[in-house]
Structure 1
Amino acid sequence: MKNNLFLDAAFSKQTERPPVWMMRQAGRFMPQYWEIKNKYSFLEMCKTPEIAADVTMLPVDLLGIDAAILFSDILVTGEAMGGDLSFTQGVGPKFANPVRTAKDVEALNVDCLSELQYVADAIKVIQQRLNGSIPLIGFAGAPFTVMSYLVEGGSSKDFKLTKLMLHNQPELAHQLLAKIAKVTAEYLNLQIAAGVNAIQVFDSWALALSWNDYQEFSHRYIQEIIANLNRKDIPVISFCKGSSVFASIMAEAKPDVISVDWNADLLNIKNALPAGIAVQGNLDPHILYADKAVIKAQIHKLFERMRGTEGFIFNLGHGIMPDIPFDNVKYAIEVVKEFKY
């Protein structure tokens, strides 16, 4: 690997500056993304290896980040298991056949790895194009987050139906989560076999859960997934919106990195974690709307706070919003790359 900054930081080694990549770095804030998106549906983009590679490479070529992340979606596992998935502009993902009864859970197929072969094919194309320049991150949605989309039938503000299942039918919820966890571990191992250099698990909606429910319905399945990964030389990043609350539990699953949202002091989180767990984050993405002087000052403030810390990857506390100016994202990455400890 020509640029080892990301992998070194993920394995808690000292780096001359923090490595940088950003969640949703290949996305809607880029005019070049829309040039592709206007020709194909979102699922066509994900399922056509050459197009997925084109999108994955956009931030590599245009932003000069230290790690690429596979262009895909957290819900492809739900679709592979039998979910009727569609994406509509302005609406988001929808499952036309929500999973709400024992019969629905029973019908989900866990022997569905062949349905996800297009992801392995995309990884191979991307790695040919990267040609050892920077690492490629693979990913999957965590079981609770995927479950919430399957049960709600799409996005939700309050996760009412999901929480009803957790509380009224916990055994059914566990059956559903166990199925998703099995598929997710196999899917991530498929990505590792295809050639990704790191893995991130996204539990995007964990913050909807109470402390006890997070332990029972999210953490135990992430722990199971990480324990089943072929992770030799492959760092595993655990992210959830809510990591500022749940970091101490997340650490019990033994990830290499915990990605932290912007609601916490990153150094305090790092110092409270077991030795050898790196942190990733945690700039508030809204700062990227601000003036460039503000962006630079906020990044430097974070870096001064983290000075001397081994195992720190710069990222946002969540993904880039679609209407953040491209130039601001590019500038933020330049600020990071010019910084030296």
Structure 2
Amino acid sequence: MQNSLFINAAFSRPTERPPVWMMRQAGRFMKEYWEIKNKYTFLEMCKTPEIAADVTMLPVDLLGIDAAILFSDILVTAEAMGGELSFEQGVGPQFANPVRTMKDVEALEVPPAKESLKYVADAIKIIKERLAPHKTPLIGFAAAPFTVMSYLVEGKSSKDFKLTKLMLHNDPETAKALLSKLATITADYLNMQIEAGVDAIQIFDSWAQALAWDDYKEFSHFYIAEIISKLNRKDIPVISFCKGSSVFAPLMAEANPDVISIDWNIDLLDIKKRLPSNIAVQGNFDPHILYADKKVIKERILRLFERMRGENGFIFNLGHGIMPDLPFDNVKYAVEVIKEFRY
């Protein structure tokens, strides 16, 4: 994989064009995804290695993407610890046993990932076999501790994270005990993925944008830095993503990732210049542009590429994930435009 466009860009080496993959690229905007999803529950898809492999391969086969990302869910670590996880259509993930007290935190286990999350390693091995003819790298991932914590504390998705923030502010000892357990299992889980064969790692802090700077530093960044420091990352680029990265990127860089994934709220070249030269950037296309006419999509992609011309360490991605109602043809067209471009 050392000749991969994606791996080279992630390590800030020269590439002939920006590599492309897109967050949520194997998801609900594809009819082929729904053909699988309508037969199984979401957790069945995640926990059945052959099905997880089928879904992971969709954007490789249908879009010709430069990197695949493992099909799984950010909350599997919480479930492995004892969270009673379920998914309800139109509602999203829910935990029947939310974590609100120190006693609740103490009840959570930190089992070895090789035992509790073996189905993920099994899926990775199948996916790697299927990717071999394509010579396409596979990205493994996990959620950052704060994001998982927010689901455990709220018991479900939240718009204001009120209960989570109350714990941070009124009971920081309990919050840190929970975050520490989550950091331990997350590092173990990511190392298991690396051992199973992934070629890169991305850490998702999907709800970091909810935090003030000092709270992000204390309750999110600290634990991400701990996780990254424990990774067996030789030849494995580590990507750090959070909502709010256009604000937090300079701090994120202190955790020593290889790549920082940037949202669409900032000029990408500006933030790249403010980061250490050995840190690549990923992003930062507004996914809403993919609703637009194809001529607009092409113009905006080329505008971004011209802005980044001459910069090593640039991976094209979206500032966040693909929306479920995006026209598939528009996404495919965007990938074609990117793959035709040359510096």
Please report the TM-score for the alignment, with normalisation by the length of structure 1.
Answer: 0.99
Q: Note the alpha carbon deviations across 1:3-25, whole angstroms, 9 max, x for none.
A: 61000000000100000000000
Give, as a single letter, the amino acid of the residue that structure 2 aligns with 1:197. D
* Distance in 1 separating the partners of 2:99 and 2:112: 17
Query: 2:208 touches 2:244 (CA, 8 Å); kept in 1?
Result: yes
The aligned residue for residue 74 of structure 2 is 74
Query: 2:2 touches 2:8 (CA, 8 Å); kept in 1?
Result: no
Structure 2 residues not aligned, in runs of 5+ = none
Q: For 2:23, what is the secondary structure of its paired residue?
A: coil
Give, as a single letter, the amino acid of the residue that structure 1 aligns with 2:28. R
Tell me how far 1:89 sits from its aligned partner: 1.0
Tell me how far 1:239 sits from its aligned partner: 0.2
Tell me how far 1:212 sits from its aligned partner: 0.2
Tell me how far 1:90 sits from its aligned partner: 0.7
Q: Note the alpha carbon deviations across 1:187-238, whole angstroms, 9 max, x for none.
A: 0000000000000000000000000000000000000000000000000000
* Distance in 2 separating the partners of 1:311 and 1:204: 23
In structure 2, the CA distance between the partners of 1:15 and 1:21, relative to structure 1 (3 Å rule), is: same
Query: 1:81 touches 1:112 (CA, 8 Å); kept in 2?
Result: no
The aligned residue for residue 308 of structure 2 is 306
The aligned residue for residue 55 of structure 2 is 55
* Distance in 2 separating the partners of 1:10 and 1:283: 17
* Distance in 2 separating the partners of 1:167 and 1:244: 25
Q: Note the alpha carbon deviations across 1:89-126, whole angstroms, 9 max, x for none.
A: 11111011100011110000012421100000000000
Structure 1 residues not aligned, in runs of 5+ = none
Report how many aligned residue pairs link the two structures.
341
Q: For 2:254, what is the secondary structure of its paired residue?
A: helix
1:193-208 aligned at under 5 Å gives the runs 193-208=195-210
1:1-341 aligned at under 5 Å gives the runs 1=1, 4-113=4-113, 114-131=115-132, 133-341=135-343
* Distance in 2 separating the partners of 1:285 and 1:251: 24
Please report the TM-score for the alignment, with normalisation by the length of structure 2.
Answer: 0.99
Query: 1:3 touches 1:66 (CA, 8 Å); kept in 2?
Result: no
Query: 1:257 touches 1:279 (CA, 8 Å); kept in 2?
Result: yes
* Distance in 2 separating the partners of 1:58 and 1:65: 10
* Distance in 2 separating the partners of 1:339 and 1:151: 46
Q: For 1:118, what is the secondary structure of its paired residue?
A: helix
Q: Give the 4+ runs in structure 1 shifted more than 2 A.
A: none
Query: 1:139 touches 1:200 (CA, 8 Å); kept in 2?
Result: yes
Give, as a single letter, the amino acid of the residue that structure 2 aligns with 1:93. P
Give, as a single letter, the amino acid of the residue that structure 2 aligns with 1:23. M
Q: Note the alpha carbon deviations across 1:237-275, whole angstroms, 9 max, x for none.
A: 000000000000000000000000000110001000011
Give, as a single letter, the amino acid of the residue that structure 1 aligns with 2:78. G
* Distance in 2 separating the partners of 1:155 and 1:289: 26
Query: 1:11 touches 1:311 (CA, 8 Å); kept in 2?
Result: yes
Query: 2:82 touches 2:109 (CA, 8 Å); kept in 1?
Result: yes
